Each structure stands twice: as structure tokens, then as C-alpha cells.
Structure 1
Amino acid sequence: MFSWVWEDKGSVSKVVVRQEESLSLKVLHQLKNGDDRRLDLYFMLPKDMGVNPQSLEAGEYCHSSVVGRRSYYSSGLHLPLVQGRFVSLNKRTVQEFRLYLNLFAYQFAIAIETDSKELAQQKDPEQFYPALSELCDIVTQLLKKFRRNEPSEPKWKHYFDNADNYLSWFCEQRLLKLLSHAPRSNEHGEVIEQTLQLCRAESAYRDQRSYNSEQTQGDPNRISNKMLLLRRLLQRGVVLKEELKTLGVGLKKFATGLTTGLIMLIVSSLIIQAQGFLSGVTLALVLTLAVIYAFREIFKDDLRNALWRWLRKGRPRWSRILRDTTSGAIIGRQLIWSDYLPSSDLPDAINTILRRRHSQNRVDAEILHYGINTQVTQREFLAGYSTIQEQINFSLAPFARYLERGRSKIYKESDGKVSSDSVERRYQINLVLMLRENRQPAQFARYKITMNRSQIIDIAEGRLPDGIESLDTPPESTSDAKSSSASNTSTQAQ
């Protein structure tokens, strides 16, 4: 935990998969200039979960439960602002100052939010409270570093005050939330008091600086909405603007037109033949025409849907353009896939990975595929920026909706007495991740996600078969220089 603070923590995977909240999964990775990366995730959903194309359409799930964020990124929190790029402030423009300030403040907020969510999952007091104490120390240290670079010129101070106000309030809120859900313990009163003292100090600091009026402080709605506004201001220039477009609209119209033409051709042929057999307008002719038109209505939608599925197979559903919010320049382009796949359409390497599973885990499953291909521009980013971080959150709540509620009991006997233990139904989802970048061989990772109706119990990375390249393994075909660059990028992912 708290790996976001320092650089050079060692090599980690190019793609990080971890739990975000009780029923949320986060996928993180970084991209640089000129990167061309395809990331595919295959969720193996056991059929007894009840998730299938009829109960949960893939496109609907992607729209409602997959949330992404793409932003500029800098390794750890040793950002230019802290490292002294603004020692000579007069040589910087207001716009440059605001961009660097926003990058620091935004990543600081995201880091605190991420680590506090991870800490909230810890239920063991012996691990929770030391980690909470460490988090308080780090927050105090970083706030001091941030405030040490406070500008004196009024044209820059306004932006600093907004960021300082938000970071102070946000850190206080995350720490108080941790305390409100902390595991009970009578042995860690000093840690609780340390956390409360930090929260009180930040509240007094904001009062001393007159950041918020008395009316705003006294109304939870007003203070919350003000901080949401400040957070949006911090995102300016850091979070990329996204333009999403649905693909295949013209292709779907073509499928509809072709289906209508084929149906009309068949119907017209049948009508001509019916008129040849039945001369004149008779009751038999009318009934025959009624049957023909009835069959047309029955099979028209089925034929159109079948043709549409065939034409759409393997094609991306959406495209996305990423733009810099300040300059409007295009930073990257993305193609997005979301669909259910038959096992016969899986790559051979993934079938090999799945065959490694224990025999008791080889159950029939629905395969939900999510893919995203990103091409980053060759042009340099704005000064001070070298990396884009993409964070994709997958909510598993739509999967949990179909799970069984009930609990059962396990009985045991001891010394003539029968007792019982309550047990809950758990499900295991296999997630296989495939990464292909810059025409290099594909790399893989497998995760076992154990969940029940209310939360994710555990996420464990599984072993890969021999001959399957892991995400942690640098490609053999790259040169030493490229390998070193990839290692640095992996370190930044932490």
C-alpha cells in the first residue's frame, strides 16, 4: 500500500488489476507517445450465475457499468511543482502554472482516494491501524510539500488557494470516513487520536485561511457542491476530453434494408405463385396471402438480427477520440469492443490458459469480452507531461443481481452435541487479460475473482502454463534500451 508516493519501488505489471470497492474492479495502465496498445479482458461467468446475453446485453453492461478515465500522469508524486520547477516563477506563464498545479493536486486526490478505499477493505485491526497511521504521516508530509510552494503573486495565488482548499477538505473527509468504518479495537486509541488531530488541524487551517464562508461550512449541501466544483477545476488540463461515437450505424441500416429486400423478394414470389394457382379474388387466395404476410412478420426480425450479428461479429462497437482540454489537440484514438463470445472464438493461448484450471473449476461459462485498442499520437504532449494513465472501472453489481440470496448451514457433531455454521454461496469468475502493444507478441495474465452477492471476497492472480508469456515478462525481441524504458514505465504504473 501507499506505493503511489515514491518512485523506483521495483518492477510491476504493465497492467494493474485490483479491487476498487465492494463490487468494483479497477484496471490501470499507462501509455506514452506513439504507443499502439490492444487490451482484451475475458470474463468467464459460470452459467449458474444467471448472466447471459438474454439477461444482460453486453452493450448495455458496457454503457452502465464500465467507467473509464484518461488523464495525464506523472510518476509517483515527485511532480515538477514539488521538485522545484517553479523556483523561478516569473519565467512561467499563468497557464503553465495552473497545468502543473492541477496535475499535482489531481493525482494527490486520486492517490488518497485509491489508498483509502484499499485500506477500508482491511478488517483486521492489527493491520488497519498501523496502515492508517502511515497514511496520516504521508498526507501530512505531502500537504507540507505542497504548501511550501505557495506562490506570492495574486494572479497565481487564486489557483493555489482553490487546490489547497480542496485537498485539505478531501483528505479530512477520507480520513473521517475511514474512522467511521474502522474495525473496533481498544488498543489503538493513539492512532485514532492522531487521525482526529490531523482532521482538526486541517479544519482549523481552512478557517484560518477563510477558504469557506460560515454559511457554506454550516450547510453540507453547499460545501459538498463547492468541493465538486473545485474538483472539476482541478481536472481542467489533466483529464482528457472524450468524444464517443457509435460505430456500425450505416451497417445496421444496410442490414435492415437487405433483410427487407430479401423478405419482399420471397413474399412477392409466393404471391405470384399463389395467384397462378388460385385465379381471381377468392377466399382461398385471401387466406393464402394472410398466411404469407404472417410468416413475413414472424421471420423478418429474426432474419434481420441474424444478419446484423453476422455483419457485426468481431467489429468494434464504439470509437473514442481523446483531446487535450486546453489546446484541443488530438492525443489519441480508441476502438472499443463489448460482446459475448463462444469458446470457439477464443484465441488459442487463452484456451490453453483455461485448460490449466483445476478440474472442479472447469464449469460451463458465458464469456463476456471487453476490448480496447488505443493509438497515442506521435506528437509530444504539453510541456511537463510524458504519460497518459487510463483507469477503467468494472462494476460487478449487475452480475451480483442474479446471484442467490440464501444462506445454508453446515452441521457438525461434537461430544454428542450438534451445532451448525452458516455458510454463504460464493462464485468464482475467471478473468483472462491479453495485452498486445507495438506489434510485439501478446502477453497474458489470469485472475480468479471470488465474490458473493454483496462483495468481492478475493482477487488472486493465477499461474500461467509454460510457454505463455506473462505481463511481467519483458519481450525478448526488444533491445536493451527499449527494455529499460519498458521497466521504467512499469515502475510508473505503481
Structure 2
Amino acid sequence: MTKVNIKQEESLSIKFSHQLSVADQRTLDLYFYLPTEMGISADTLNEEEYYHANIIGRRSYFSDALHLPLVQSRFVSLNKRTLEEFRLYLNLFAYQFAVAIETDAKQVRQLTEPEEFYPALLELSERARQLLKKFRRNEPEQDKWQSYFGHADNYLSWFCEQQLLKTLSTRPRSAEFADIKDQVVQYCRKENHYRELERKYNSQRTREDANRISNKMLLLRRLIQQGVVLKEDLKVLGVGLKKFVTGLATGLVMIVVSALIIKAQGFFSGLTLSLIMALSVIYAFREIFKEDIRNAMWRLIQRGRPRWSRTLTDTSTKKPVARQLIWLEFLRPKDIPNAVSLIMKHRHRQNKVESEVLHYRIQSKVNTKEFAAGYTQFQEQVVFSLIPFARHLERGKAKIYSEQDGKVSNESVERRYQVNLVVALKDGKQSVEYARYKITMNRSSIVELTESRLPDELNAV
């Protein structure tokens, strides 16, 4: 699938990203097939809690010219641009640079073999060095623009150093690649010298206090996000409907309770201990079943409805950029689209196990008006944490035995599970595009994320 990129983010998380342009209308569906043996269902996983705690997204303006120095075509003549334009373009480059370095560093940290890790680390260090060099080559001469450039330069230098040091701290031990480690360390020292001695960006008091330097860099990151990261206003849908359902459930329960009370009063003469006991039992059952009835009615009414709406707003112009509707629910087999069911039927026989299907849908409608000056797209990146899934998994207890020269040895093996992910993308009135991924995971990490071939007869559906 060319329009949506899905990859592993951390040890137990995956990320999808895509770009949206002016007037785009896009619906993106993700179907997580969770094997029943994992023990994950609507009874054990609350969709609303999972959404707020384990689905994290960021949405920002995007330019595919990231690796050009300062999106060079926009900086041909700085003197002809306003201060606000300069700040917007500077922030766009700095933000995307930081995101790109962070993403590449995460990918390097996932490499466990020294032969793969160290060359990738050296390439990352060289890429950061080259981009910072090009960035500084376009330093403005005007004093009124210097402060904005200094903030971005200070943050990017510090952030690159931090990402490289963090990656070094997770390195596999190998004396063979000590020279690469030394090169990266020397580059980090050089950047530190540039910030603290050449440019004097941070005071000695700030440098010596980890809390101060961390908070200052957090503030600088927020400054470079200004005008680039879109403001998100999330609204829970169906609040009034839920109150109505609560009232209706309470009313239905009270009708039954009132009928039982009348029956009890007719059965027991006068106010007796038996009548009091009977009323106590009736009211106890009311409290027990009221919540169950309300939840059952609410799940029935809510099924298929969007749960949240999100409005994305430009932080500079204060104008809305896009509106999104979000669904998250466990699906019944009859609610799964035929095309998705067809894709899942073409698994290997040994992989055809009973599954619970967790469905996530995000429907985006971008405004027909133009974005802020110079922007043509915005990018959405959403990270799904699989940690709540991993909590339900069993630890590997089995052992594999082998014999050699009369000696018997054993090796513990881990329990692995395969989660299937089907992605469906529909742009406007175009036909739906599909992709299927296999996520092999255990309790501690995602072992493998691969894309699978789709059935040939899918086009006929």
C-alpha cells in the first residue's frame, strides 16, 4: 500500500503514517485479528480506555523536500520574505528534521547484530552532521531573525546528540567496531562544544542541571512546533444519547421493581420484617442489574457509530484544517466486510484460528480551502501500543531437548502469537485498497512485522 506506511515503532508498538492534501476525503480502516487464545475481547479490554492510553497520534504540516537544505526553494531570497514566513518555514524544517532523526534512531536501536547496528549508527551520525551543516549554512544575517534560528539550532544540536548517545547506550558489545563508536562519540562532543562554547546557547547553570536543560529543550521544541503541529480538539460523541440510555435503563428497571414491590405488599400484610427483607432483596437486584442493562443497551445502540470527533486547527491562522471521525470497537463476524473476510480466508491452514476482531477507523475530511502559505500536505502519524495485548499472553514454559555424544541438553522456548492486521484505504470515490500484515509477538516484543500477499480474487469482490 503506497499511501499508508505501517512499521514497527518500539519493541511493542506499531505506527501508521499517511499524508493528506487539500480537499481529501479518506477513510482508513484497521482490523486487528486477535487469536482467541490470547484472551482479549470486549470483556477484558475496554475500548475507550485503550484509545486514550495506548493510541497516540500527531498531526503536522508536511513537506517531502526535507533533505534539501532548509527546503531550499523557499529560501532563495530571505530578504523578500516576512518574519512570519521565515519562522514558519524554519519551524517546518526543524520539526521534520527532529522527527526524521528520532524515527531513524529508533530503527537503528532495533538492530541487534553488531554487523548491522554499527554501520547504521555511523550512517545516522553522518546524516545528522550533513543536515545540520546545510541548516547552518543558511543562517540569516538579520538580527530580528537570529533568535528564531538560534532556538532551532540549539534544539536540533542537542536533540541529535541525545538520540546518538541514547542509541549508543543500547549498542551490542563488539570490539571490532570500536572505531565507529569513537567517531560517533567525537561527533557528540563536537556538537556539545559548538552549543556551549562557540555559540553559548545555554548558561553553565542550565548545563549542569539535567532538569533545567531538559525543560529548556522541551520549551524550544514547543516553539519550533508553532505553526507546524496542528492543534487537536477531541470531542466525545453520543454524550447526550448515553444519558438518555441511562435514564431509559433506569426507568425500565424501576417499572419491574415497582411491580415487585406492589406484589410484595400484597403478599405480606402490614410492615413486617419479612416485607423489609423482601424489599431489600428487590433493591439489591435493582442495583445489580441496572448497570448490566444500561451497558447492554448502550453497546447495542453504539455499535457502528463513531465514538470521537477531532477538529484540527492551524495554530497560526486559527482556521480549521480538517475534521475527523474515529471508531474503535470489537466486531461481530457478520459485521466484517466481505473483502476483509476473503483476505483472512487465504491464510495457511495452521494459521486459521478463532479470533476476536478489533476495528479502528479514522475518517478524515480536509477543508477545500488552501493550507497556510507554502504548505500542500499534512501528515498524520498514529502509534498503537500492543502492551495491553502482551499482558494477556502466557510466558513460554516449554523446553526443547537435544542429544549430542550421549549428552542431553535442553533449551527454553518462548510462546509466540500471530496477530493479523488488515488495512483498508478508501480515497473519495476511488475503489478500496487493501493490505495485510502479520505481527508475530511474544510478551516482551514484536518479533516480526511482514506484509502478506493478497488473494487474486479480491479484485472481483
User: Could you tell me how far apart the structure 1 residues matched to 2:407 and 2:69 are?
Assistant: 68
Once the two structures are TM-superposed, the CA of residue 352 in structure 1 deviates from its matched residue by 0.8
Tell me which residue corresponds to 1:251. 241
Q: AA paired with 2:310? A: R
User: Could you tell me how far apart the structure 2 residues matched to 1:394 and 1:53 are?
Assistant: 18
Contact 2:69 2:135 (8 Å CA) reproduced: no
Choose 228-237 or 267-276, whichever is displaced more. 267-276
Once the two structures are TM-superposed, the CA of residue 413 in structure 1 deviates from its matched residue by 1.4
Once the two structures are TM-superposed, the CA of residue 349 in structure 1 deviates from its matched residue by 0.9
User: Could you tell me how far apart the structure 1 residues matched to 2:272 and 2:167 are?
Assistant: 81
Trace 1:66-465 onto structure 2 (pairs within 5 A): 66-78=55-67, 81-206=70-195, 207-272=197-262, 292-465=282-455
Does the C-alpha gap of structure 1 residues 281 and 222 become closer, same or farther in structure 2, counting only changes over 3 Å? Answer: closer
Query: 1:41 is matched with which residue: 27, 30, 49?
Result: 30
Does the C-alpha gap of structure 1 residues 432 and 280 become closer, same or farther in structure 2, counting only changes over 3 Å? Answer: same
CA RMSD of aligned residues (A): 2.1
Q: AA paired with 2:452? A: G
- Does residue 31 of the first structure (1) align with residue 31 of the second (2)? no
TM-score normalised by the chain length of structure 2: 0.94
Q: AA paired with 2:173? A: R
> Secondary structure at 2:52's aligned position in 1?
helix
Post-superposition CA distance 1:87-118 (Å, at most 9, x none): 32222111111110000000000000001100
Choose 337-346 or 180-189, whichever is displaced more. 180-189
User: Could you tell me how far apart the structure 2 residues matched to 1:287 and 1:189 are?
Assistant: 80
Once the two structures are TM-superposed, the CA of residue 270 in structure 1 deviates from its matched residue by 4.7
User: Could you tell me how far apart the structure 2 residues matched to 1:99 and 1:287 are?
Assistant: 72
Structure 1, unmatched stretches of 5+, are: 1-11, 471-494
Does the C-alpha gap of structure 1 residues 302 and 84 become closer, same or farther in structure 2, counting only changes over 3 Å? Answer: closer
Does the C-alpha gap of structure 1 residues 282 and 188 become closer, same or farther in structure 2, counting only changes over 3 Å? Answer: closer
Q: AA paired with 2:80? A: K
Once the two structures are TM-superposed, the CA of residue 275 in structure 1 deviates from its matched residue by 5.8
> Secondary structure at 1:433's aligned position in 2?
strand
Choose 252-261 or 156-165, whichever is displaced more. 252-261
Structure 2, unmatched stretches of 5+, are: none
> Secondary structure at 2:70's aligned position in 1?
helix
Contact 1:80 1:100 (8 Å CA) reproduced: no
Post-superposition CA distance 1:367-425 (Å, at most 9, x none): 21211111110110011100010000111111112222344320011232211122111
Contact 1:412 1:420 (8 Å CA) reproduced: yes
Once the two structures are TM-superposed, the CA of residue 286 in structure 1 deviates from its matched residue by 5.9
> Secondary structure at 1:184's aligned position in 2?
coil
Q: AA paired with 1:336? A: I
Post-superposition CA distance 1:327-358 (Å, at most 9, x none): 11000011111111222211111111111111
Does the C-alpha gap of structure 1 residues 463 and 404 become closer, same or farther in structure 2, counting only changes over 3 Å? Answer: same
Does the C-alpha gap of structure 1 residues 200 and 293 become closer, same or farther in structure 2, counting only changes over 3 Å? Answer: closer
Once the two structures are TM-superposed, the CA of residue 52 in structure 1 deviates from its matched residue by 2.3
Tell me which residue corresponds to 1:467. 457
User: Could you tell me how far apart the structure 2 residues matched to 1:219 and 1:277 are?
Assistant: 78
Tell me which residue corresponds to 1:484. none
> Secondary structure at 1:158's aligned position in 2?
helix
Contact 1:82 1:149 (8 Å CA) reproduced: no
> Secondary structure at 1:468's aligned position in 2?
helix
Contact 1:444 1:468 (8 Å CA) reproduced: no
Does the C-alpha gap of structure 1 residues 263 and 165 become closer, same or farther in structure 2, counting only changes over 3 Å? Answer: same
Contact 1:443 1:468 (8 Å CA) reproduced: no
Contact 2:39 2:392 (8 Å CA) reproduced: yes
Post-superposition CA distance 1:140-161 (Å, at most 9, x none): 2111111111001111010000
User: Could you tell me how far apart the structure 1 residues matched to 2:447 and 2:424 are?
Assistant: 24
Post-superposition CA distance 1:143-197 (Å, at most 9, x none): 1111111001111010000100111111111112222222222222332232122
Once the two structures are TM-superposed, the CA of residue 290 in structure 1 deviates from its matched residue by 5.2
Contact 1:82 1:145 (8 Å CA) reproduced: no
Does the C-alpha gap of structure 1 residues 216 and 291 become closer, same or farther in structure 2, counting only changes over 3 Å? Answer: closer
Q: AA paired with 2:294? A: R
Does the C-alpha gap of structure 1 residues 286 and 90 become closer, same or farther in structure 2, counting only changes over 3 Å? Answer: same
User: Could you tell me how far apart the structure 2 residues matched to 1:338 and 1:295 are?
Assistant: 32
User: Could you tell me how far apart the structure 2 residues matched to 1:176 and 1:74 are?
Assistant: 28
Choose 373-382 or 273-282, whichever is displaced more. 273-282
Contact 1:443 1:469 (8 Å CA) reproduced: no
**Identical pairs, percent:** 61
> Secondary structure at 2:456's aligned position in 1?
coil
TM-score normalised by the chain length of structure 1: 0.88
Q: Number of matched residues?
A: 459
Does the C-alpha gap of structure 1 residues 24 and 298 become closer, same or farther in structure 2, counting only changes over 3 Å? Answer: closer
Once the two structures are TM-superposed, the CA of residue 467 in structure 1 deviates from its matched residue by 3.0
Contact 2:69 2:131 (8 Å CA) reproduced: no
User: Could you tell me how far apart the structure 2 residues matched to 1:261 and 1:310 are?
Assistant: 18
Contact 2:231 2:315 (8 Å CA) reproduced: yes
User: Could you tell me how far apart the structure 2 residues matched to 1:163 and 1:104 are?
Assistant: 9
